[in-house]
Amino acid sequence: MIDVHSHILPEFDDGAKSVDESINMLKILKDQGITHVIATPHFKMTDSKKSIDDFLIKRKKSYQKLISEIEKQGLDLPKIFLGAEVLLTMDFVEAMDKNRLCIENTDIMLIELPYYEWQSWMFRMLGDLCKENNIVPIIAHADRYVDFVSNEMYEQLFSLGYKTQVNAEFVCDKLAVKKLKKWLKSGQICYVGSDAHGIDFRPPTFDSYFNKIKKIAGDDFIKNIEIHSAELIEKLENK
């Protein structure tokens, strides 16, 4: 199974603070049944002096530092692919060469929506971004907006037909389970991610997910996740 959302790259964003922590996170993910991981450090176009070029250079250095140590130690860990967790902002929509933030050699981009009550204009902006740049979005951690986004806005999001991702830890959040129950069964939630940031702070929780998901969402949801996970792995491996 693939972890489509993680902050495992060392010394980059608010994720792993060192190579050792990155490796320990990968060991945990392997123990929890994960074979492939997409590293998705935060990208916010509104950050001071942030550019896509700077981000990609920094990401490459962090990745190479991690891979070098993994190879040095001869470790058998989940295979890493590079992506980004891109915050949807007007500055980003207007930026050049946005496709470089798609998951390695694909047209798929993990997109984080704003942390306030959504409005219809946001969905129009998202639609224009994807259509004009041939981007296939995965909406990041649909479960993390439940405290401030209305059911009406969730209805509008899911009516667009985009694939979405939930964090593995959502199975422990009663409000998230209740609010997303309808779409867990609809087939539009297609991916699960750890959104892991460290060993102590927001560690991987696929173990809780696997223990609870059948009771919460049923066999059809599990099958849907497995199918999409396998398809994405095949796409990445055959790029």
Mean pLDDT by 10 residues, the chain (239 residues): 97 95 98 97 77 93 98 98 95 89 95 93 94 96 95 94 96 94 90 96 94 94 96 90
The pLDDT assigned to 19 comes to: 98
Give Cα separations from 78 to 31, 75, 120, 165 (angstroms).
Answer: 10, 10, 39, 20
Where do runs of H (alpha helix) occur along the chain? 19-31, 52-73, 90-93, 120-133, 151-159, 174-184, 206-237
pLDDT for residue 47: 62
Per-residue pLDDT tens digits for 148-191: 999 999 999 999 999 999 999 999 999 999 999 989 988 889 99
pTM of this prediction? Answer: 0.95
pLDDT at 210 (0 to 100): 95
Single-letter amino acid, residue 233: I
The CATH number corresponding to 2-237 among 1.25.40.10, 3.20.20.140, 3.30.450.40, 1.10.1040.10 equals 3.20.20.140
